[in-house]
Amino acid sequence: MADLRTVFAGIKSPNPFWLASAPPTDKEYNVRRAFQAGWGGVVWKTLGEDPPVVNLSSRYGALGFEGRRLIGLNNIELISDRPLATNIAEIKRVKREFPDRALIVSLMVPCEEDKWKAILPIVEETGADGIELNFGCPHGMSERNMGAAVGQVPEYVEMVTRWCKQNTRMPVIVKLTPNVTNILMPARAARAGGADAVSLINTIQSVIGVDLDAMAPMPVVGGKGTHGGYCGPAVKPIALRMIGEIARDPIMAGIPISGIGGISNWRDSAEFLAMGSGSLQVCTAAMHYGFRIVEDMIDGLSNWMDQKGYERLEDLTGRAVSQFVPWNQLNMKFKTLANIDQDACVGCGLCYIACEDTSHQAISKKNTSDRRHYEVIEEECVGCNLCAHVCPVDDCITMVPQPVDGELTWPHHPSNPNCIPA
């Protein structure tokens, strides 16, 4: 069995699966159930100053697609709406009872050094393993100059991170907002401020949908709606990109990254690890199916690592990063061609119409009385993969890489006006 034990910025957990700071980690009852279910760690739902914030009724909006629920989830909930003392007492109890699990406390107080100085010792006293600075919440809190309002200004990120580092011995994880044009700016600022790690992505500003009867964005609260924070399986590609950019950035080199964003199963987990994550945070999948989903995440990841010969998580973390390159570094001589397995083909014609209408007219159609026959016209195929993606049958259409004669990248390509001579 692969060893899933994780050491992340000095924080130990029996596996890399942590519950992200969110409703599932709001209180002792939930966290206890999560640990009993096998989660390696939790990031406690963000604590703020007293008096606690007030949350609204109706908090989530969901995106479904062709019958599947919750491919995306948006929320307008704020940070913990319970008194600080209540949370602190519970955190202390849970940590004492589950000493082997990672317990990180998410924090958000106004951008004043005194406020941060005040809360840090209170948290430290609980025995928590670390803190995560919530610089990401994109709704409600950002309008009060917290959350994403801090995360979007690199100078603030650096400043607050530094305050925390100067005032606690706990490892400091900075949670980054994706609502920026260049994720490296706040990431580098966090490192400059002394962050022990970064975690990302927080939720994305979104309007999940419009209630066409109420004529208001969802979720509708008393006839009106507001933007929320978007998460769930649909945001995974955005998260992978941002994690990869940080992982390959020379300035960020070596910083632990806690990957967040739509992780729903072991395969997603492996992908996040490969792109540079050292631990994984999950929320929507648990909110959809309950804490038990971690069982297959642990089991599946472990089985796959065994198959691939990865003994420890460190063997896997960042494995794909050096292959994540700017477009400019891709080999323009590489060519791949679609191939249709005629035995597996069910004759739905989706590949044909996708290619015919929207791509390169590279699939021919011959209908006989009892069979539809589609074939790739290799001279026309640009290897775009669209047919393989629309085919409803697994492995019916495969992309077959062709022999490559050397390497040619755009900077050296003769068509490039700024071609660098060989």
Q: How far is the CB of 143 from another protein (least distance, A)?
A: 35
Letters for 300-339 (x = contact with another protein by CB under 8 A, - = none) are ----------------------------------------
Cis peptide, bond prior to residue 219, ω within 30 of zero: yes
Q: Extract the tokens encoding 164.
A: 């925390």
Candidates 51, 57, 66, 379: give the one binding another protein (CB under 8 A): 66
389 burial (CB, 10 Å; 0-12 / 13-18 / 19+) is exposed
Whole-number Å distance between alpha carbons of 70 and 289: 11
8 Å CB contact between 354 and 387: yes
- Quick one: 69 or 308, whose CB is closer to another protein? 69
Element (H, E) at 316: helix 313-316
419 catalytic per annotation: no
8 Å CB contact between 206 and 227: yes
Q: How far is the CB of 42 from another protein (least distance, A)?
A: 35
3-state secondary structure 202-243: CCEEECCCEECCCCEECCCECCECCCEEEECHHHHHHHHHHH
- Quick one: 17 or 352, whose CB is closer to another protein? 352
Whole-number Å distance between alpha carbons of 40 and 5: 9
Chain positions 72 to 131 lying near another protein, rule: CB under 8 A, are: none
Q: Which of 137, 345, 381, 396 is catalytic?
A: 137
Number of residues that bind another protein (CB under 8 A): 14
Chain positions 357 to 396 lying near another protein, rule: CB under 8 A, are: 365, 367, 372, 392-393
Candidates 347, 401, 416, 420: give the one binding another protein (CB under 8 A): 347
Q: How far is the CB of 392 from another protein (least distance, A)?
A: 5
**Bridge partner list, 339:** 398
Candidates 109, 149, 173, 350: give the one binding another protein (CB under 8 A): 350
Q: Residue 348 interacts with another protein (CB under 8 A)?
A: yes
Whole-number Å distance between alpha carbons of 218 and 63: 10
Instruction: Select from 92-100, 182-190, 259-267, 347-355 the region that touches another protein (CB under 8 A).
Output: 347-355
Q: Residue 67 interacts with another protein (CB under 8 A)?
A: yes
Candidates 304, 349, 360, 413: give the one binding another protein (CB under 8 A): 349
Q: How far is the CB of 348 from another protein (least distance, A)?
A: 4
- Quick one: 67 or 403, whose CB is closer to another protein? 67
Q: Residue 420 interacts with another protein (CB under 8 A)?
A: no
368 burial (CB, 10 Å; 0-12 / 13-18 / 19+) is exposed
Cis peptide, bond prior to residue 201, ω within 30 of zero: yes
8 Å CB contact between 57 and 74: no
Q: How far is the CB of 133 from another protein (least distance, A)?
A: 42
Q: How far is the CB of 354 from another protein (least distance, A)?
A: 8
Spatial CA neighbour of 105 closest among 27, 205, 167: 27
- Could you give the angle at the alpha carbon of 230 between the alpha carbons of 56 and 181, nearest 5°? 125
Candidates 39, 44, 163, 352: give the one binding another protein (CB under 8 A): 352
Instruction: Select from 274-282, 290-298, 343-351, 402-410 the region that touches another protein (CB under 8 A).
Output: 343-351
Q: Which residues contribute to the site for another protein (CB under 8 A)?
A: 66-67, 346-350, 352-353, 365, 367, 372, 392-393
- The catalytic residues are 137
